[in-house]
Amino acid sequence: MLRLFKKILTTGIVTEPVKVPKDAELEQLGIAIKRHIERRYTGSIAIRQIDAGSCNGCELEIHALNNPYYDIERFGIHFVASPRHADVLLVTGPVSRHMQTALLRTYEATPDPKWVVAVGDCAACGGEFGISYASCGAVSNVIPVDAVIAGCPPTPLALLQGLLSLCERH
Amino acid sequence: MNALNWTETLRQQLEVSGIVVDQQESAYTPHALVWQVAAEAWQQLAELSMLQGLRWSAGWAEENGEQFTVHALLEKQGVYLLTRTSIGYKKPELPSQATVYPAANRSERHTHDMFGIKFIGHPDKRPWTRHKAWDKHTHPLRKDFPVQGSPEIITPPDMDYPFIRSHGAGTYEIPVGPVHAGIIEPGHFRFQAVGELILNLEERLGYVHKGIEKIAEGRTPQSLARLAGRVSGDTTVSHSWAACIAMEQAAGLSIPGRAALIRGILAERERVANHLGDIGAICNDVAFVFAQMQFSRLRENWLRTHATVFGHRLLMDCVIPGGVKSDVSDSDCRLIKQDIIQLRKELTDIITALDLNSSLEDRVYTAGFLPEDIAAAFGTVGYVGRASGQDFDVRRDLAYPPYDQVKFKVALENQGDIASRFWIRYKEIIAALKLIEQFIDLLTPGEILNEWHVPVAGSEGLGIVEGWRGEIIAFVRFDGDNKISRFYPRDPSILNWPVLEKLVLNNIVPDFPVCNKSLNGSYSGNDL
């Protein structure tokens, strides 16, 4: 147990101001997100992530938002287990035809007001997979989309920027 | 017994049984033989191979004009035997190998859904990849099936799949998914339980079927490498590597030595990144947040070096046909080596803290037990197999470049529980770090890309590499005009998913997440 405490103490706090492309600019973004969330969403927004057919690359980077560097919860954003608890749906992947109904039902289960963010190139336009017998392509082909975060996959910073731009618009 | 002995023995036994083997010329290197047999002998071939101790590794089909060619890839002692047979287009039927090899079960069901080839005697008649996006009379991988298909506006849910049921006092069913509670890929699990005890688990996958095999048709080599890199996003290096080897074999193209070393560095870096993430996630699933935070911090540091050196946090599109996309400079190599020194030191601290933690031990020792005989019967690969005594690693046993230039030890355990899979992964990180250092030391100035030359129409290739999850197979056949006519990627998950149904038995439902994470199958790589 002592070793554990020692490691915690020597590691210290690694959370850093979100940086790149410009430190100051993005730190301001972080503060801006927080202000928006405090004002508009009484302190926090809840996100439900749905993989509608991705290769799992986007999920890895969404996971990274919870690591100690980005620690997205400090901005008042947290991930929830049910669409019924969510304000925002974060949808990845081209929508596979086999996931189409599940996505529609998840969307319907999310209480209003709700926002949908399409994450990654596949969710934005179908990406490498496009539209086929097995894929509906972009998320917007299946449910209404409020914001798009491009990238294959988008970096954690791009995800944060995308979420901020959504907050600013709503 | 050396490899040539067993192939000769098997061949003699086949002849004694009246099965004629037509050994064909193959460009597959190294160590792969191609045997063609008659369709009637397909099951008998499997039986004799099983008796000889061969492992069933992959199965797929392709349409060639008036007929289908069905392939089954078998392996023993690092030597691969690609067996194939031809069947008519009008009445495509073949005796099932799944009666002999359980590993062939889902693969044959996939082939049935995609091609309409009937496997006579198959123990499970239910569809596997097919839900409702196409009907049972049409088959997407047939050449006359249009890539756009004829989908309904809204594909109906797969409601009437006949799951195994349980009856009796106190038994109940838990349906889970396809949308899961975490940040994770979709799939469905159906539990039968009594109290908290799991009596049975059945997986229903196929939700992220994106038609990868179909949309591969007609692609150029460069475009196929990109697609292969998205079969499973966490295995982008190894899948594109396997696909590139297959295409390079078909084209008769070798790659520069420096490119092979860089591919090795990329693959080992991918292995380390994923094991770091998964070890943390296993701890998180037993509510040990300290470890999750520490490992996700180390993973983030590691990914940032990916981005600095290779330009992409997950290393996508770094492996391309003929070599690699970008070179590493001397300063890159110094950075990579410094990183490794730092990571080793940190891991030692953290692992010591974990090893002394009894609350973690309580949850992972003896839980999720996979016995050696079941691991062997299902042909389990990678860390899941190696934690249950399956001493197989393509890097060592096939010794493809650059692994032919280095000596390294493959970790092996036989307790078969979550703890065992945890420690195997830790040992694989340590081994991978050493491999990266060795590859860097072997780097000499030179080219990183050989010019592509167009393969002859009809030529084929077979790429086999050890991804971080285990053995990856890629089969490629070219059409004319430098275009792909068939691509089959076999992710290790296709072999490993079935054993999850076995290793959760007699565990409690709340331990399912950590059992699942210790295996961590890819949904995308399975569903294709």
What is the average pLDDT across B11-29? 84
- What's the pLDDT at B509? 94
In chain A, residues 88-107 whose CB comes closer than 8 Å to chain B? 93-94, 96-102, 104, 106
What is the average pLDDT across B213-217? 97
Optimal mutation site among A122, A132, A155, interface B, most CBs of chain B within 10 A: A132
Tens digits of residue pLDDT in B335-353? 999 999 999 999 999 998 8
* Of A86-90, A163-167, B234-238, B517-521, the least confident: A163-167
> Which of A10, A59, A97 is nearest residue B185 as measured by Cβ atoms?
A59
User: Please, are residues A35 and B208 in contact by the beta-carbon 8 Å criterion?
Assistant: no
State the sign of the Cα–Cα–Cα–Cα dihedral B282, A65, B231, B212: positive
Cα angle for residues B207, B211, B214 (degrees, 5° grid): 160
Q: Which residues in chain B have Cβ-Cβ distances shorter than 8 Å to A57? A: 230, 233-234, 236, 314, 316
3-state secondary structure of A90: strand
Q: Give Cα A48 distance to the centre of its chain.
A: 8
**How far B358 CA lies from chain A's nearest CA (Å)?**
10
Tens digits of residue pLDDT in B130-159? 999 999 999 999 999 999 999 999 999 998
In chain B, residues 331-370 whose CB comes closer than 8 Å to chain A? 349-350, 352-353, 356-357
Cβ separation of B186 and A102 shorter than 8 Å?
A: yes
Cβ separation of A54 and B185 shorter than 8 Å?
A: yes
- What's the pLDDT at B373? 95
What is the average pLDDT across B31-45? 91
User: Please, are residues B87 and B96 in contact by the beta-carbon 8 Å criterion?
Assistant: no
Q: Which residues in chain A have Cβ-Cβ distances shorter than 8 Å to B527? A: 96
Optimal mutation site among B159, B210, B283, B304, interface A, most CBs of chain A within 10 A: B210
Cβ separation of A7 and B353 shorter than 8 Å?
A: yes
Q: Which residues in chain A have Cβ-Cβ distances shorter than 8 Å to B294? A: 7, 11
Angle between helices B289-310 and B330-355 (to 10 degrees): 170
A to B CB pairs, distance under 8 Å: 175
Q: Which residues in chain A have Cβ-Cβ distances shorter than 8 Å to B300? A: 64, 67-69
What is the average pLDDT across B34-63? 95
3-state secondary structure of B3: helix
Whether B185 has its CB under 8 Å from any CB of chain A: the answer is: yes
Q: Give Cα B438 distance to the centre of its chain.
A: 26
Which residue is closest to A103 within chain B, CA to CA? B179
What is the average pLDDT across B487-508? 96
Torsion angle of C-alpha atoms B508, B512, B514, B517, degrees rounded to 10: 160
**How far A33 CA lies from chain B's nearest CA (Å)?**
22
Is residue A27 predicted with pLDDT exceeding 90? no
- What's the pLDDT at B524? 97
What is the average pLDDT across B424-444? 97
Query: DSSP string spanning B229-240?
Result: TTSSGGGHHHHH
What is the average pLDDT across A55-75? 92
**How far A132 CA lies from chain B's nearest CA (Å)?**
4
Q: Which residues in chain B have Cβ-Cβ distances shorter than 8 Å to A134? A: 133, 140, 149, 209-211, 214
Cβ separation of A1 and B226 shorter than 8 Å?
A: no
In chain A, residues 112-141 whose CB comes closer than 8 Å to chain B? 127-135
- What's the pLDDT at B481? 92
Is residue A16 predicted with pLDDT exceeding 90? no
- What's the pLDDT at A24? 61
C-alpha distances out from residue B138 to B60, B333, B405, Å: 18, 52, 48
- What's the pLDDT at B66? 87
What is the average pLDDT across A125-132? 96
Phi, psi of A159 (to 5 degrees): -65, -45
**How far A17 CA lies from chain B's nearest CA (Å)?**
15
What is the average pLDDT across A139-147? 96
Whether B147 has its CB under 8 Å from any CB of chain A: the answer is: yes
Tens digits of residue pLDDT in B243-289? 999 999 999 999 999 999 999 999 999 999 999 999 999 999 888 89
Cα angle for residues B353, B356, B358 (degrees, 5° grid): 125
Is residue B490 predicted with pLDDT exceeding 90? yes
Under the banding of pLDDT at 50, 70 and 90, the label for residue B30 is: low
Q: Beginning with the edge strand found earlier in the chain, give each strand of the sheet holding B460-466 in spatial order.
A: B460-466, B471-478, B484-490
Is residue B62 predicted with pLDDT exceeding 60? yes
Which residue is closest to A51 within chain B, CA to CA? B185
- What's the pLDDT at A17? 66
Which residue is closest to A137 within chain B, CA to CA? B210
Cβ separation of A99 and B210 shorter than 8 Å?
A: no
What is the average pLDDT across A112-133? 95
Is residue A169 predicted with pLDDT exceeding 90? no
Optimal mutation site among B134, B154, B179, interface A, most CBs of chain A within 10 A: B179
* Of A50-64, A127-141, B25-39, B194-208, the least confident: B25-39
Question: Percent of chain A at pLDDT above 70?
Answer: 92
Q: Which residues in chain A have Cβ-Cβ distances shorter than 8 Å to B211? A: 129, 132-135
- What's the pLDDT at B359? 82
> Which of A11, A51, A134 is nearest residue B209 as measured by Cβ atoms?
A134
**What is d(CA B180, CA B189) in angstroms, rounded to the nearest whole number?**
10
Under the banding of pLDDT at 50, 70 and 90, the label for residue A8 is: confident
Tens digits of residue pLDDT in B292-347? 999 999 999 999 999 999 999 999 999 999 999 999 999 999 999 999 999 999 99
Q: Which residues in chain A have Cβ-Cβ distances shorter than 8 Å to B179? A: 50, 83, 102, 106
Q: Which residues in chain B have Cβ-Cβ distances shorter than 8 Å to A14? A: 297
Whether B480 has its CB under 8 Å from any CB of chain A: the answer is: no
Q: Which residues contact A57 (CB under 8 A, 6 or more apart)?
A: A120, A152, A153, B230, B233, B234, B236, B314, B316
Tens digits of residue pLDDT in A30-61? 777 777 777 777 778 899 999 999 999 999 99
Q: Which residues contact A112 (CB under 8 A, 6 or more apart)?
A: none
Is residue B177 predicted with pLDDT exceeding 70? yes
- What's the pLDDT at B362? 85
- What's the pLDDT at A87? 93
Is residue A163 predicted with pLDDT exceeding 60? yes
Query: DSSP string spanning B115-146?
Result: H--EEET-S--S-SS-SSSS-TT--TTSTTS-
3-state secondary structure of A21: coil
Which residue is closest to A104 within chain B, CA to CA? B154
Which residue is closest to B158 within chain A, CA to CA? A98
Query: DSSP string spanning B194-216?
Result: ETTEEEEEEEE--TT---HHHHH
Question: Percent of chain A at pLDDT above 90?
Answer: 59
Cβ separation of A96 and B149 shorter than 8 Å?
A: no
- What's the pLDDT at A25? 59
Q: Which residue has the higher pLDDT, B22 or B100?
A: B100
Optimal mutation site among B208, B308, B528, interface A, most CBs of chain A within 10 A: B208
- What's the pLDDT at A161? 87
Under the banding of pLDDT at 50, 70 and 90, the label for residue B190 is: very high
Q: What does the mean pLDDT of chain B come to?
A: 94
- What's the pLDDT at B206? 97
- Burial annotation B98-133 (CB, 10 A radius, 16+ → b, else e): bbbbbbbbbbbbbbbbbbbbbbeebeeeebbbbbbb
Q: Which residues in chain A have Cβ-Cβ distances shorter than 8 Å to B148? A: 131-133
- What's the pLDDT at A31? 77
Is residue A94 predicted with pLDDT exceeding 70? yes
